[in-house]
Structure 1
Amino acid sequence: MDPKELGRRDFLKYGLALAGVGALGSQLVYPVDLAPAQTEKKGKIKDPIRIGAQATLSGPFGGYGQFMKMGAQLAVDEINGGGGILGSKLEIEFRDEELKPDVAAKNARYFVDDWGADFLTGIDASSSVMGVGAIMGELDRVLIVTHAATEKLTENLVYKQGIKQIFRISVPVYQDGIAAAIVAKDFPAKRWVTIGADYEYGHTSWNFFKATLQKLRPDVEFVEEAWAKFLTSDFGAHITKVMAANPEGIYSTQWAGEAVTLIKQAKLFGVFDKVQTWMTPMGGAMDVLEGLGKEYPEKAWVTSRYWFQYPDTPENQAFVDRFYKRWNKYPHYVSETTYSAIYAIKAAVEKTGTIETPEIIKALEGMTLMTPAGTRYFRPEDHQAVYAVPWGRITHDPKYPFPTLTDLKVISAEAYYRRPPFEA
């Protein structure tokens, strides 16, 4: 099928559709130029087309990898069931990145040099993605990142250093820090503290949050910081330290099992009875929702990199239904981002008729995709996919076996994504 002809009905049947035009936020509209002649084969496409994926598959963060595999496998099975990509089947292999940069780089080399991967995807940790990103020019395969959020990936490695093989389909820390501050400006809280993850993601998110909120609300104060090392299991000292500063708002950057542990311990300390607002950017991830269940305080404001109830479109509902039917679970954000990344690969190969890296890069630059998360646009300058994800407050809806979000705050991506030339 010609990608230009893929429409809403085709999405509901097969998966993702390429959008003729896509609206992002309230103002951003980008055309897609997919002329039929561009989809003709330039020669025999390799069969199978191999995708090397890596994620955290073990330890307290291992749920991310399992959800990522679910989204990836659903996409691969849908595409192969529909005849593959220009007649070639997809094959995917996962490896555990272990949240270690050296392991992630080793995995990437294995995929390309030993396994024969044509594309790479996945990666959870910011440190891991920077390690892999640095060697992508050498490996010369397109990498579509589906989770790791550091802005340095696209701002530095792609835009400033020119490593064009890197793309990211998930929202970066702009969502965690800048969008969080835009939401927080409307809260009465003036005295803010952080219980932060003591590594790249935590520090960058907090810095963006502080800088943005200070501009929007000059009356706020940032009165204390408590930094928790990776794999912290006892947050008692961190909670005690920040509560001594009499905060009105707490911003925490723990995720996965650490977020569950921190919030449970904060409840035991009576924190939610003493503060006005709690914000955890990755608190809307399915593993955190399931991990906390009825214990999740409704005072918490959270987001993720995709929320299964947003946007309210046939495309998203079809994806959620298919995912639930296959796995008996609702999709985690890494399920959707990885699912969409594989369909982006499909779109690029069908547009160019080849799997050659230079042609795929050209095809992805400026491409607009209709995805479950809404319309995504890959900026040509930094290869960052632009789309909006809501923030929301935790609520307990009896229709679902886990907490959900209410009072959704959807901010136009135009309002909070940093743009080239990325000057401070």
Structure 2
Amino acid sequence: MRNKNLLFVFLMLLSTLILPAFADTVKLGINYPKTGPYSAEGLDQIRAAEMAVEEINNAGGILGNKVSLVVRDSQSKVDITNKNVTDLIDNEKVKMVFGGSASSVAVASAKICQEKGVPFFGTLTYSNATTVEDGHRHTFRECYNAWMGAKVLASYLKQNFAGKKYFYITADYTWGWSTEDSVRKFSGTEDKKKHPGVLTPFPTAEGKDFKIALEKAVAANPDVLVLVEFGKDMTKAVRLANQMGLKKKMKIVVPNLTLSMAEGGGPQNMDGVIGAIPWTWQVPTKYNYPKGIAFVDKFTKRYNRYPDTSGASAYTIVYEYKAAVERAKSFDNDAVIKALEGHTYQLLKDKQTWRAFDHQSIQTVYAVKCKPMSAVLKDEYQLDYFEIIGSMTGDQAAQSKKEWDAARTAAGKPTKLEPLAGE
């Protein structure tokens, strides 16, 4: 009995040496699509966010406080998000909210967070509106936006499809409108009579909606088909396009790609598809970013698949919030916001900056082309989809202050974000 007691005391002492002692717990809220059309992107977000929280807690937490992740399923629906974010702030008392794979959800989250004075970080929200027309002082976007993606994509399209006819199939909500407008602007296809298009419902699109839209594309006989669709909607559309023989007749462009979307589409259907992306698992190795390589290796070993851009963004956000709190030496929301504004950071890729006037993360963006099926199938996880065919620095890709001011003015918004207390 005495030996058992000694062993118990020893193990207890050992545990105090291994596990950090926390002063308190700080809650972070993630509102992500566990279900719905963007659930694959959501799964990547939550996995990477949990990894970041685990690492931070193992290293002593944030200012000595243990980090706890409070999770809500957005379902990519605005009404659900409104309830979730309100609950996270009012009842769970989270210090920060992040997530979102539908820009409509991100915009709704940002509005509530602004009203309640809590920082919001957009994890996967590509509509320009998130940090332009609907931008707020408490909103930060870690991923790129439609404008940036369209700009790097258009540099390739102009070289290879100048003067060609385009047809657009677009999800009917803020991200879809924003992305189509941006691609049209930079590809020189703003004339909708010469380059027509059709809208598909969101988030309720069904197979019949995509079939009707694709039939209109066939009738228009374009050289380039731009599928402004995302998540499971894109995979349905691209599979149907191939079944209808469209890949043989026109080049397919998906302006905003993710690895999970390529996987859902399948290697045969995705072969040769062109798109843009802010990060892919090949970037750290190709350009030698050690922290990015370590993230990819750890994620891959844990989940038997490569991380996606959605996960990379969620992981970065958790670490960037931690770093801002530590610079501010406080969890005070206004102090954290000031610590973020204009700050340059580097984690999974090259240097990025939280631009002060709009809170967009200025970063390198990439144009990619989906590899042939044979190359994808050779990979251990059959996920080696993307060949990087172009890149553009964040300063080249992002809207200028003058362009941002013009967009804000056109929307009836001031050309400066809301003041913090005491400003």
TM over 0.5: yes
Give, in angstroms, the shift of residue 239 of structure 1: 1.1
Q: Which residue of 1 is the match for residue 167 of structure 2? A: 193
- Is 1:393 the equivalent of 2:375? no
- Is 1:225 the equivalent of 2:206? no
- Is 1:310 the equivalent of 2:283? yes
The equivalences for 1:31-50 within 5 A come to: 47-50=24-27
Taking the aligned partners of 1:188 and 1:382, their CA distance within structure 2 comes to: 33
Taking the aligned partners of 1:46 and 1:122, their CA distance within structure 2 comes to: 27
Does the 8 Å contact 1:290/1:403 carry over to 2?
Answer: no
C-alpha offsets along residues 45-67 of structure 1, whole Å, 9 cap, x if unaligned? Answer: 97211100011111332122211
Taking the aligned partners of 2:243 and 2:23, their CA distance within structure 1 comes to: 57
Give the aligned residue type for 1:358.
D
Taking the aligned partners of 2:275 and 2:41, their CA distance within structure 1 comes to: 17
Give, in angstroms, the shift of residue 188 of structure 1: 2.9
Give the aligned residue type for 1:315.
K
Aligned mate of 1:180, from 144, 153, 157 = 153
Taking the aligned partners of 1:104 and 1:144, their CA distance within structure 2 comes to: 14
Give, in angstroms, the shift of residue 340 of structure 1: 0.1
Taking the aligned partners of 1:137 and 1:237, their CA distance within structure 2 comes to: 40
Aligned mate of 2:337, from 361, 370, 373 = 361
Aligned mate of 2:73, from 96, 102, 109 = 96
Does the 8 Å contact 1:294/1:403 carry over to 2?
Answer: no
Aligned mate of 1:299, from 272, 275, 283 = 272
Give, in angstroms, the shift of residue 203 of structure 1: 1.4
SS in structure 1 of the partner of residue 237 of structure 2: helix
Aligned mate of 2:259, from 286, 291, 304 = 286
Aligned mate of 1:326, from 302, 309, 315 = 302
Taking the aligned partners of 1:157 and 1:262, their CA distance within structure 2 comes to: 29
Q: Higher helix share goes to which structure?
A: 2
Does the 8 Å contact 2:267/2:385 carry over to 1?
Answer: no
- Relative distance call for 1:221 and 1:392 in structure 2 (3 A) is farther
Give, in angstroms, the shift of residue 123 of structure 1: 1.5
Give the aligned residue type for 1:198.
D
Does the 8 Å contact 2:36/2:76 carry over to 1?
Answer: no
- How many residue pairs end up in the alignment? 372
> What CA RMSD, in Å, does the superposition of the two structures yield over aligned residues?
2.0
- Is 1:409 the equivalent of 2:365? no
SS in structure 2 of the partner of residue 117 of structure 1: coil
Query: Does 1 or 2 have the higher relative contact order (CA < 8 Å, sep 6+)?
Result: 1
Give the aligned residue type for 1:389.
V
Give, in angstroms, the shift of residue 378 of structure 1: 0.1
Give the aligned residue type for 1:138.
E
- Relative distance call for 1:325 and 1:361 in structure 2 (3 A) is same
Question: Which 10-residue stretch deviates more, 149-158 or 121-130?
Answer: 149-158
- Relative distance call for 1:220 and 1:54 in structure 2 (3 A) is closer
Does the 8 Å contact 2:127/2:176 carry over to 1?
Answer: no
- Relative distance call for 1:121 and 1:288 in structure 2 (3 A) is same
- Is 1:107 the equivalent of 2:84? yes
Does the 8 Å contact 2:271/2:371 carry over to 1?
Answer: yes
Gaps of 5+ in 2: 1-21, 408-423
C-alpha offsets along residues 199-238 of structure 1, whole Å, 9 cap, x if unaligned? Answer: 2111111111112222xx8999842212111223232221
- Is 1:69 the equivalent of 2:46? yes
Give, in angstroms, the shift of residue 86 of structure 1: 2.1
Give, in angstroms, the shift of residue 256 of structure 1: 1.2
SS in structure 2 of the partner of residue 358 of structure 1: helix
Does the 8 Å contact 1:191/1:220 carry over to 2?
Answer: no
- Is 1:263 the equivalent of 2:238? yes
Taking the aligned partners of 1:76 and 1:357, their CA distance within structure 2 comes to: 19
Give the aligned residue type for 2:158.
K
Gaps of 5+ in 1: 1-44
Does the 8 Å contact 1:50/1:117 carry over to 2?
Answer: yes
- Is 1:85 the equivalent of 2:65? no
Does the 8 Å contact 1:191/1:221 carry over to 2?
Answer: no
Does the 8 Å contact 2:296/2:307 carry over to 1?
Answer: yes
Does the 8 Å contact 1:165/1:361 carry over to 2?
Answer: yes
C-alpha offsets along residues 309-362 of structure 1, whole Å, 9 cap, x if unaligned? Answer: 114222221110011122222101110000000000110111111000110011
SS in structure 2 of the partner of residue 303 of structure 1: strand
- Relative distance call for 1:220 and 1:156 in structure 2 (3 A) is closer
TM-score by length of structure 1 reads 0.83
- Relative distance call for 1:153 and 1:49 in structure 2 (3 A) is same
- Relative distance call for 1:346 and 1:372 in structure 2 (3 A) is same
Give the aligned residue type for 1:97.
S
C-alpha offsets along residues 82-124 of structure 1, whole Å, 9 cap, x if unaligned? Answer: 1112211110011011222222122111111101101111112
- Is 1:121 the equivalent of 2:98? yes
- Relative distance call for 1:221 and 1:178 in structure 2 (3 A) is farther
Percent identity, please: 24
Give, in angstroms, the shift of residue 281 of structure 1: 2.1
- Is 1:150 the equivalent of 2:127? yes
